[in-house]
Amino acid sequence: MARIVAGVATSHVPAIGAALDNGKTQEPYWQRVFAGYEESKKWIAEVKPDVCIVVFNDHATAFSVDIVPTFALGCAAEFAPADEGWGPRPVPTVHGHPELAAHIAQSVILDEFDLTIVNNMEVDHGLTVPLSLMFGQPEEWPCKIIPLAVNVVLFPPPTGKRCFDLGAAIRRAVDSYPEDLKVVIFGTGGMSHQISGPRAGLINSDFDKAFLDGMSHDPQKIIKLKHVEYMREAGAEGIEMVMWLVMRGALDEHVHERYRFYTVPASNTAVGHLILENEGLAAAAE
């Protein structure tokens, strides 16, 4: 049986990718950020997932404003790193898992969540930066990746509750896949940040830390947050945090918080990171 064993949440700041790609990780500013992922890299190397489902947002890269799907599941065999204006990042091509992705699409859509099926998509920093933070700079990514793109760029994004409920439907889909596969789900983006307008540079650590607590201990509280509350408290781009709730909805009601990291800032963004384990994995580790 396929099983979701854990969830990873992490910010996806593009400058983190640029720091890695340009050999700046030892500069004090960046060292502070990368040091927070050392434990996580060891953790994921030990867990050795077969597949990671990466919930991310496309930043008007693969999808122009011509077509903006709310939830788009990558069902292709490969996803190339996108050129966001400086050439594609020098990272490996992402290899998908078309069979599991097709199964998830079928299960989730018949479960009344109307996903868009995507058979051709380049992936931008929203997906590649979290992979770099968790896996470093390998020749090939060490597992299959199923991208799930969520619209948080054009109003209205889905609500936090809708994201959480979709996560639960993804869990049911994975649980009903017959092959033995160890699956980790990533929720990416966030934390508080605003990159344009009069409030550019806004960071709200109190809000972020309460959100991290909610992810671990009280998801029912944070799924009630309204768009306007994310905007007001966490900045215009803080809405990216609804993607963390897809991940949370795919986990057990009670999870083991394996790891937490928070630092301010990286570029314009507060960097938050969590590893949450389902009971089975936490028990196996004891």
Contacts of 176 (CB under 8 A, 6+ apart): 103, 107
Question: Among residues 107 and 268, whose Cβ is nearest to ligand DHB?
Answer: 268
The beta strands (E) that lie in 32-158 are given as 51-56, 71-74, 78-79, 94-95, 116-118, 144-150
- Least distance CB 59 / ligand DHB (angstroms): 5
Is 40 among the residues that bind ligand DHB (CB under 6 A)?
no
Single-letter amino acid, residue 129: V
- Cα 115 to Cα 104: distance, rounded to the nearest angstrom: 10
Q: Which of 103, 193, 256, 273 is catalytic?
A: 193
Question: How big, in percent rounded to 5, are the helix, strand and coil portions of the chain?
Answer: 40, 25, 40
**Binding ligand DHB by CB under 6 A: which of 9, 13, 72, 282?**
13
- Cα 160 to Cα 222: distance, rounded to the nearest angstrom: 8
Question: Among residues 10 and 269, whose Cβ is nearest to ligand DHB?
Answer: 269
- Cα 91 to Cα 124: distance, rounded to the nearest angstrom: 11
- Least distance CB 192 / ligand DHB (angstroms): 10
What's the sign of the alpha-carbon dihedral 96, 21, 89, 187? Answer: positive
Is 15 among the residues that bind ligand DHB (CB under 6 A)?
yes
Element (H, E) at 256: strand 256-266
**Binding ligand DHB by CB under 6 A: which of 268, 272, 278, 282?**
268
- Least distance CB 190 / ligand DHB (angstroms): 8
Q: Which of 125, 227, 254, 273 is catalytic?
A: 125
**Binding ligand DHB by CB under 6 A: which of 18, 77, 195, 231?**
195
**Binding ligand DHB by CB under 6 A: which of 193, 248, 256, 273?**
193
Please confirm, yes or no, whether 125 is among the known catalytic residues: yes
From 164-172, 179-187, 198-206, 262-270, give the range in contact with ligand DHB by CB under 6 A.
Answer: 262-270
- Cα 135 to Cα 42: distance, rounded to the nearest angstrom: 9
Question: Among residues 196 and 220, whose Cβ is nearest to ligand DHB?
Answer: 196
Please confirm, yes or no, whether 97 is among the known catalytic residues: no
Q: Nearest-CA neighbor of 243 among 171, 160, 175, 170?
A: 160
Single-letter amino acid, residue 49: P
- Least distance CB 114 / ligand DHB (angstroms): 26
Question: CB neighbours (10 Å) of residue 163?
Answer: 26
Place of tokens 């889905």: 158
Is 14 among the residues that bind ligand DHB (CB under 6 A)?
yes
**Binding ligand DHB by CB under 6 A: which of 84, 165, 208, 237?**
237
Single-letter amino acid, residue 120: N
- Least distance CB 106 / ligand DHB (angstroms): 31
Is 59 among the residues that bind ligand DHB (CB under 6 A)?
yes
Size of the site for ligand DHB (CB under 6 A): 11
Phi and psi of 78, rounded to 5°?
-145, 150
Is 267 among the residues that bind ligand DHB (CB under 6 A)?
yes
Q: Where on the chain is the footprint of ligand DHB (CB under 6 A)?
A: 12-15, 59, 193, 195, 237, 267-269
Catalytic residues: 125, 193
